Structure 1
């Protein structure tokens, strides 16, 4: 037991502790907003990166709408006594409780998904409890990856390519949000290769081969890796930068998988899935993305800005054949039409053209963004009594 009073430790957009009850409430709110519908088959799913962002949304919507069975994998840290557990740890515990209450069969593995040991352990669990996988959702976002073959540790970077990047950014260092300017020097070839090694398709491919080697790909197996394209406003630091190079590798991996004997013999499919903008722990670390997202939310309003869970519901319905696939000319599933609508982007560019005036017109969007960031860690949740001690030593969920 570790009942103690905790307060957020925050510097700008960086928050280094989390609130267990607040994190649990954010998961419950997402869960309750998803229309329940579990008629029909209950597919076996493996969700890699289930504890945050789109991975968490895909887990919750898969359970709530399609009754998925299977395994979620994430790499989270327990309460140490000096620091709380990570928010993803608390979110996983909350998701497990909700799943158990609803009678769903889901297990959670806390491990480095990049490792060979994690792949072997997950395959063991699948063999024992579920059998072949119908859907593998790949939603890993990490700053580093150890290559399981060579032992080399690769570190990803967020940098432009070819020329420095200068753009406005949202600055939360003072009492009120303000516009600052970010300048980032271009990434080197070595940094680009390392970012591709972390965030490209190599590990996705290894997971599928590991499952295939154990006979764990179901007939008509489908796998989907989450990606992002975004606006031309942020393209220099995102789609045209080191991360963009990794995303292009991910997309090439999908094409290679579709051409592979592994998937053809199962009549399987591999997709990259282009999601729309969202406030996630990963996206909030990218310069200028916060300001862009605040402007986007101002333009669309809360009803027009689609949540990760709403987008994940569209994804599951497409993967399960309840609605037609929405594919672009390269075969990617597109969930981002609401963001890249021409009229929406024109209005965002107007705000971006004079970011200081844009921020003045988007104060509510900036406040919303900061509140969303804090909510990722379980803070600023209106139903939580933050003035009361909280139990921070929450166990990782084990199957019942």
Structure 2
């Protein structure tokens, strides 16, 4: 079939298998170009199919020659209908890993569930014995609690008062003002239940109880802080409460891992174009301005550059892992430079529909958004008849 992008708001309803494969290949080549990383050799990535999770799997495999198990929840293709992009990303990753002689297997299912945790435990026992790095990179709007059965839904809302500020429709480029009403009822608790640290701790407990963690095992979850411009809807909003919970959980997990000399970290990463960030009002405008400045300064990074630097310069050095005063790894250091944020704040006041294409990088935003779904890559013939029925080799 001829596969074209079909947009609906901040979602693309189609994805391109060849384009997704090219995306994975590009990231692999970047990692190879940066040289070997003396990192973990048996890696579990929970949320492994897109974004930072995918970049972590690629960096582990092609930077450290690691065996990897990836857990994700993606929609497989059916005749005449494409899979979700994470499915094609994972298919491409396994293909490239197998060609390189690297162990790579995947599990497709609800990572919040006890069943998927047990399936993962069984696979590690059978194939790897133990793991030395666990990346936790889930990004889901809902979670069915494995104990209570309650379905929790997260919300992206401010706390206390309505929030009004600029935003942009990144498809049309129209800058407008938006008001987001504050959360109510159980919104905070539900958001923490979905995006906080409870499930991360459940994973680590399950792995430790099954004796699947090597001595000195490390686990890392990903978070975001961001600037004062976005804090009302992000870091001081419902999602911020969840991130606070995630960060507090790192200390609790580290205490539980002390007996095996293990450690849990939260890595605060840079703002990037993802399906999740595209859905948050205000964030697309901020990212458009940020991209413009960071590219001009020569310090822009995508997911793969961020994770390569996280591994090479933070996790796997001969020195202690550097953290901030709250114990967090800060790989958002370039984004949060004072000079960068001052320029963003100035441009924010100036931004209009008419000038955003000049003072911001809206084209870069759109390009990255299309890349999420496998569109817009050089060297891919998007007019060619393409087989949508691509398998992930290890998933039968």
Tell me, yes or no, whether TM beats 0.5. yes
Q: CA deviation at 1:322?
A: 4.7
Q: Out of 339-348 and 352-361, give the one that drifted further.
A: 352-361
Quote the residue 1:251 is aligned against.
247
Partner of 2:190: 194
**Corresponding residue for residue 293 of structure 1:** 287
TM-score normalized by the length of structure 2: 0.95
The corresponding residue for 2:153 is 155
1:265 and 2:259 aligned? yes
Against the structure 1 CA distance between its residues 379 and 129, is the aligned structure 2 distance closer, same or farther, given a 3 Å change threshold? same
Aligned CA distance change for structure 1 residues 358 and 190 (closer, same or farther; 3 Å): farther
Q: Answer with 349-358 or 130-139: which moved more.
A: 349-358
> 2:351–2:359: 8 Å Cα contact kept in structure 1?
no
CA distance in 2, matches of 1:323, 1:102: 31
Describe the superposition over 1:115-137 as per-residue Cα deviations: whole angstroms up to 9, x where unpaired: 00000010001011111211111
The equivalent of 1:71 in structure 2 is: 69
Q: Is the 8 A contact 2:289 2:347 kept in 1?
A: yes
String of CA shifts for 1:329-377, please: whole Å, max 9, x gaps. Answer: 01111101100000000000001112217615335x0011011101100
Contact preservation (8 Å) 1:352, 1:358: no
Q: Following superposition, which runs of at least 4 residues in structure 1 exceed 6 angstroms of deviation?
A: none
CA distance in 2 between counterparts of 1:340 and 1:94 reads 34
For 1:119 and 1:320, locate their aligned partners in 2 and report how far apart those are by CA, in whole Å.
27
Q: Is the 8 A contact 1:219 1:266 kept in 2?
A: yes
Distance in 1 of aligned mates of 2:317 and 2:31: 19
CA distance in 1, matches of 2:376, 2:251: 42
| SS of 1:218 mapped into structure 2 | strand
Q: Which residue of 1 aligns with 2:28?
A: 31
* Aligned counterparts of 1:38 and 1:311: Cα–Cα separation in 2: 16
| 1:59 to partner: Cα distance | 0.8
What is the Cα deviation at residue 324 of structure 1?
A: 4.8
Partner SS, residue 183 of structure 2 = coil
Could you list the per-position Cα deviations for residues 153-199 of structure 1 after superposition, in whole angstroms to 9, with x for gaps in the alignment?
0011111111111121111454xx12122211111240111110000
Q: Is the 8 A contact 1:295 1:358 kept in 2?
A: no
Distance 1:41 1:62, change over 3 A: closer
Instruction: Please give the alpha-carbon distance, in whole angstroms, between the structure 2 residues aligned to 1:194 and 1:21.
Output: 38
Q: Report the RMSD for the aligned CA atoms in angstroms.
A: 1.8
**Corresponding position: 1:330 with 2:342:** no
Counterpart of 1:207 (choices 196, 203, 207) is 203
Q: Which residue of 1 aligns with 2:179?
A: 183
Q: Tell me the SS of whatever aligns to 1:33.
A: helix
| One of 363, 366, 369 as aligned partner of 2:365 | 369
8 Å CA contact 2:170, 2:365 repeated in 1: no
Counterpart in the other structure of 1:167: 165
The total of aligned residue pairs comes to 392
Q: Specify the alignment match of 1:104 in structure 2.
A: 102
Cα distance change of structure 1 residues 190 and 71 upon mapping to structure 2, 3 Å threshold: same
Aligned-residue offset at 1:294: 0.6
User: Quick check: 2:195–2:239 contact (8 Å CA) kept in 1?
Assistant: yes
Aligned to 2:335, the other structure's residue is in SS state: helix
1:222 equivalenced with 2:218 (yes/no): yes
Q: How does 1:329-348 map to 2 (within 5 A)?
A: 329-348=325-344
What is aligned with 2:88? 90
- Structure 1 length as normaliser, TM-score? 0.94
